[in-house]
Amino acid sequence: MIKKIITLFLILIPINSFALIEVDITRGNLDPLPVAVSPLSIDEKSRKSFNKMLNKDNIGEEISNIVENNLRTSGLFNPLNKEAFLQAPDIANLKPRFEDWNLIKAQALITGKVSHVDKKLRVEFRLWDVLAAKEMMALAFTTVPNNWRRVGHIISDKIYERLTGEKGYFDTRIIYVAEEGPKTQRIKKLAIMDQDGFNNKFLTLGNELVLTPRFNPTSQMVTYLSYFKNLPRVYLLDIETGTQEVVGDFPGMTFAPRFSPDGKKIIMSLAKDGKSDIYTMDLENRIVEKITNHPSIDTSPSYSPDGKYVTFNSDRSGYQQIYIMKSDGSDVKRISFGNGLYGTPVWSPRGDLIAFTKLHKGKFYIGVMRTDGKGERLLTENYYQEAPSWSPNGRVLIFYRETKTNDKGEGFTAKLWSIDLTGYNERQIKTPTDASDPSWSSLLSN
Amino acid sequence: MTLSKIFKNSLLVLTACLVLSACATKKEIASDIKGSMQGDVYTGTDTVEYLAEGVPDRVFFATNESILTTASRETLRAQAAWLRKNSGINVVLEGHADERGTREYNLALGERRANAAKDYLMTYGISSDRITVLSYGKERPVDSGSNPLSWSKNRRSVTVKAN
């Protein structure tokens, strides 16, 4: 499904790149950059043929809407109201009248054009610096028309990257657990959707309990826990073919799976005789290795991006705390020492931070700490929330949050939320049903 | 805190109690919860089912704990006696946790609780061949409430007939 069907041409690289706008993403951005997203212009013939094909009246506007929405939800940009735009989209794309865009306080302008070429969708777009009156970037894509949403996400990523200096996270998907029914008999299914909540699809039927899906590095495979035949075991699912298989042949419950950064191994816990230890299984030669060996509960393992270390959750000190070790299990070191219990450590794709869930005085927090345990920062507090997962650029965390029920045990909901690493820009991600255990894919177009 | 301050505070509480008639109702609820919990281990019978007469099917645990209480051991001895009498019956021990913990840790905790029950049954002569352990973590609460009493009912190991 995630084939490289999108070809990319570089039309022009700006030679002169000094004094152009830049967005600092390392601080909470209370003053998002005003941008004007001029609707992608489209000739009448192309508009009509795409209308027939995709049932969208104006595909140019639809794609711009995706870009606008992505930029807005990032919290770093403030897309301006289109009604204030003075210049027509097709003319703006040729040569913007910068005075006009300056007048409405736009600092960046995005223009572009959509056309129907050889049964394909061709999209070109330009990013302009309004104050410097310069073109910052110009790119064109050709793809199958059905891919139009992805084109919107890829454009968003290119703009984000050009303006922040870091890779974007818009052309990505979220795998999660869709939930329905009463709390005591919850029905759970694996589901997948685009990062912005569109193209939602259920991957299992809900006949058995499923939990904690996680992508492999190429985002084509998923490892998760299934209670198929009442035997809780780690499974592997190929998203494209729908093939599922149990991982290994273990004498007890296997759970808490994740892929190694090279995608060759699965690291997970095996619970047996009242203790849980961490194991790996090589997916090629099926060799199983025991990584921890302790009478305590050792679970929620997560590799460092270079694969040399593993962070995990253990109660060997008496309570749930976060540890790191070398990936062969040596040099185990506790890193969480604050008040409360710590769980679900996840290593950042940038390598410098570990995200976690913290339970303290009846509240749940999502937070981050450095890999030596120093610099703990709590990003959000709530009645119940857990399971952070990193955006591929390491700037945003997605997690799930549950509500407290009333005296009669009613009113339970579970929803997905995201928050910037800065602690700003907390927002709910809309899902068709209740949702939990989100896992963010890698960038699909890289 | 000086004595006079303490005195003032208690006086305030006293007046508050006199003013608010709700004080009495609150006390009743509190003693109700106390009646069915010891520490934070559930001691009531609300959710309990019976494998046979006098043989309760479940034991309860304190928060984050898998230690068997005196009452739990009594329940498990009754189960062991019943299993010895009914040697053809195998059981699944289903371990559970409350909702106030992370999902993966709770799966492990449920397994640890069910194993504590299994170990105890084995010391009373029940072969491990007859016992399967299954953890549900926090996935299958019996009580959907978000309060200490509901949570105490959910921290449990339930013995279920497998055949």
Give the model confidence (pLDDT) of B11-37 as tens digits. Answer: 444 444 434 444 444 444 444 555 799
Distance from CA of A323 to the nearest CA of B (A): 14
SS3 A42: strand
Question: What is the reported pLDDT for A28?
Answer: 64
CATH topology for A7-164 is Rossmann fold (3.40.50)
pLDDT value at A161 more than 90? yes
Check if A2 contacts B (Cβ < 8 Å).
Answer: no
Taking an 8 Å cut-off on Cβ atoms, the answer to whether A209 and B139 are in contact is yes
pLDDT of residue A9: 45
Can you give the pLDDT at residue A445? Answer: 86
Element at A135 (helix H, strand E)? strand A134-143
- Residue B82 Cα, gap to closest chain A Cα (Å): 23
B112 vs A contacts (CB less than 8 Å)? 271, 274-276, 297
Q: What one-character DSSP code corresponds to residue A297?
A: B
Per-residue confidence at B9, pLDDT binned at 50, 70, 90?
very low
Residue bearing the bigger pLDDT, B119 or A408:
B119
Tokens 């020492």 appear where? Answer: A337
Return the pLDDT at A411: 93
Looking at chain A, which residue has its C-alpha nearest residue B99?
A384
| Candidate from A255, A319, A404 with C-beta closest to B104 | A255
CA distance linking residue A114 with residue A122, whole number of Å? 6
Mean pLDDT of chain B: 86
Among A321, A312, A234, CA closest to A271? A234
Residues in A closer than 8 angstroms to B64, CB to CB, are 319
Amino acid present at A280 = T
**Residue-range domain boundaries for chain A:** 7-164, 173-440
What share of chain A in percent tops pLDDT 70? 94
Which pLDDT score, from 0 to 100, does residue A52 have? 94
β-pairing, A108-117 vs A41-42, is parallel
Chain B residues with beta carbon closer than 8 angstroms to that of A319: 64
B139 vs A23: which has the higher pLDDT? B139
- Distance between CA atoms of A256 and A348, rounded to whole angstroms? 17
Nearest Cα of chain A lies from the Cα of B145 at a distance, in angstroms, of 4
B102 touches chain A (CB under 8 A): yes
How far does the CA of residue B16 sit from the closest CA of chain A (Å)? Answer: 25
What CATH code would you report for A173-440? 2.120.10.30
Q: How far is B53 from chain A (nearest CA, A)?
A: 26
Number of Cβ pairs closer than 8 Å across A and B? Answer: 104
Rounded to the nearest angstrom, the minimum Cα separation between B55 and chain A is: 24
Percent of chain A with pLDDT over 90: 92
- pTM value is 0.90
- Chain segment A379-428, per-residue pLDDT in tens: 999 999 999 999 999 999 999 999 999 988 899 999 999 999 999 999 99
Is B108 in contact with A405 (Cβ distance < 8 A)? no
- DSSP H or E run through A215: strand A210-215
For A405, the closest of B101, B109, B145 (CB atoms) is: B145
Q: Is residue A314 classed as helix, strand or coil in its secondary structure?
A: strand
Nearest CA in chain B to A358: B102
Q: What is the mean pLDDT of residues B73-86?
A: 98
Q: What local confidence, expressed as pLDDT, does residue B15 receive?
A: 40
Q: Which residue of A lies nearest to B148 if distances are taken between CA atoms?
A: A362
Q: Which of B99, B107, B122, B149 to mutate to test the interface with A (most CBs of A within 10 A)?
A: B107
Bridge partner list, A225: A211, A234
In A, which residues are within 8 Å of B142 by CB distance? 184
Nearest to B107 among A182, A255, A402 (CB): A255
Question: With an 8 Å Cβ cutoff, is B95 touching chain A?
Answer: no
Residue written as token pair 């010891």: B38
Distance (Å) from the alpha carbon of A73 to chain B's nearest alpha carbon? 28
What was the pLDDT predicted at A84? 93
- Contacts with A273 from chain B: Cβ below 8 Å: 115
User: How far is it, in rounded angstroms, from Cα B159 to Cα A302?
Assistant: 34
